[in-house]
Amino acid sequence: MSKKLVNAIAEMREQDALKLAKEMLEGGSDPVAILDAAREAMGIVGKRYEEGTYFLPELILSGVMLNQIAEMVKPKLAKAAEVKRHGKVLIGTVEGDIHDIGKDIVVFMLDVNGFEVLDLGIDVPPEKFVQAIKDFQPQVVGLSGFLNLAFDSMRDTVEAIKKAGLRDKVKIMIGGGQISDSIREYSGADAYGKDAMAGVSLAKEWVGAK
Ligand code: B12
């Protein structure tokens, strides 16, 4: 079933993909496994885009499908998780980058796992992160990005937080398609999370939640 879902998304069969995701959810499939299948499909779409067999419309449609599936899955995840709030996480896609599908998954995984999350959206300049840290006072800041240019934006954001004298008040995690531990080192962040659950684990560890 999950292979079928991967194929439906990768082949741009929107109605089939949504129907399959609904059937899987109703049949008791693990909601996280459904999201993983959707993510695997995005990888295939990306590869086809790179090879020149898919173009921007396919990228956009795959994003739309993933968002719809994420919305479908969200209530199930929320039901499964406890509601106690562990702490606050500020998150956004860094300056110059508008990819937010992955960030949105991180946001709702944090949310259903008991964090109060402030999402600044996309293309967020360093100053906006700095101001939001002052206002919202999170323990954790999450920076998301998919483009190569996000590496510098992440570094600039960490630098701006440092300059504002706020660096020791927050733990910073970064993530996104091309992000790795060497980008963590380059940017000066505290940790890199490979997926949404890694982000939740990091945030829990940092606020001392079980
Ligand atoms: C969908 C998509 C788009 C959509 C985005 C829609 C949206 N609302 O996000 C649209 C069509 C708008 C788009 C636009 C562009 N895109 Co695009 N896009 C993609 C695509 C196919 C999928 C990305 C995606 O959503 N993946 C699925 C999510 C779930 O994965 P994820 O982001 O990695 O998130 C997971 C983890 O990384 C992690 N995570 C994410 N963030 C964070 C944060 C923290 C704190 C933590 C802990 C974890 C974490 O958790 C998530 C869930 O587990 C990729 C190809 C690919 N290889 O995947 C290209 C890709 C990213 N795009 C690319 C390009 C070039 C562009 C454009 C420049 C195209 C153009 N010519 O205009 C523009 C960029 C505009 C801009 N300024 O940002 C390139 C980037 C190349 C590069 N190295 O810089 C890619 C790799 C395609 C390619 N192979 O060429 N794109």
Of all protein residues, the one whose alpha carbon is nearest to atom 69 of ligand 1 is 56
**Is it the case that residue 168 has pLDDT exceeding 90?**
yes
Residue 82 has pLDDT above 60, yes or no: no
pLDDT digits (tens, 9 = 90+) for 172-201: 999 999 999 999 999 999 999 998 889 999
Which residues, judged by CB distance below 6 Å to any ligand atom, belong to the binding site of ligand 1? 39, 42-43, 45-46, 49-50, 56, 59-60, 62-63, 96-103, 105-106, 142-144, 146-148, 173-178, 193, 195-196, 198-199
Ligand 1 center from residue 60 Cα (angstroms): 10
Q: Distance, CA 170 to ligand 1 centroid (Å)?
A: 26
Give me the phi and psi of 144, to 5 degrees please: -115, 150
CA distances in angstroms from 206 to 91, 187, 203, listed in the order given: 15, 19, 5
Q: Tell me how many degrees the CA angle 162-186-172 measures, rounded to the nearest 5.
A: 50
For 19-30, write each residue's pLDDT tens digit: 999 999 999 999
User: If you take atom 29 of ligand 1, which residue's CA is the nearest one?
Assistant: 102
As a whole number of angstroms, the distance between CA 141 and CA 166 comes to: 11
